[in-house]
Amino acid sequence: MRTLIVGNGIDIQFGGPSEYGNYAILERMLKNVNEDKYSGLGFDKQELLDILDTCEKTINKIIRNKVGIPKDNNYLFLQMEMERVRRTYTGNPSAYCY
């Protein structure tokens, strides 16, 4: 049996980041949330907006290095990931948010 698995990479390759990049995906998702398109799936519009707001606040704290993580080896992966986020999203954190 032959199988072909296609994911986001192929979408981005042929559709381009303007349609399938992170920014475009988040824009579509926010538009759908604001138009209450997820209520049929059991998601409340305000709850989703609150979750997104919490995510935005959390990522901004990470970028600004305002989240304290113990300097313990048990948190090494989390420390490394937060550093990667800070390196990736340098500059004005609000520029990455909606």
Phi/psi at 65 (nearest 5 deg)? Answer: 60, 40
Task: List the structure tokens of 45.
Answer: 């519009």
Is residue 40 one of the residues assigned to a domain?
Answer: no
Average pLDDT of the segment spanning 24-45: 89
Average pLDDT of the segment spanning 15-37: 82
Is residue 29 one of the residues assigned to a domain?
Answer: yes
51/20 same-domain check: no
Residue 29 belongs to domain spanning: 1-35
pTM of the model: 0.64
Is residue 89 one of the residues assigned to a domain?
Answer: yes
14/60 same-domain check: no
Give the chain's domain count.
Answer: 2
The Cα 22–Cα 34 span in angstroms is 18
Task: List pLDDT tens digits, range 45-96.
Answer: 999 999 999 988 988 898 998 988 877 778 888 888 888 988 888 765 555 5
13/52 same-domain check: no
50/87 same-domain check: yes
**Per-residue model confidence (pLDDT) at position 11:** 57
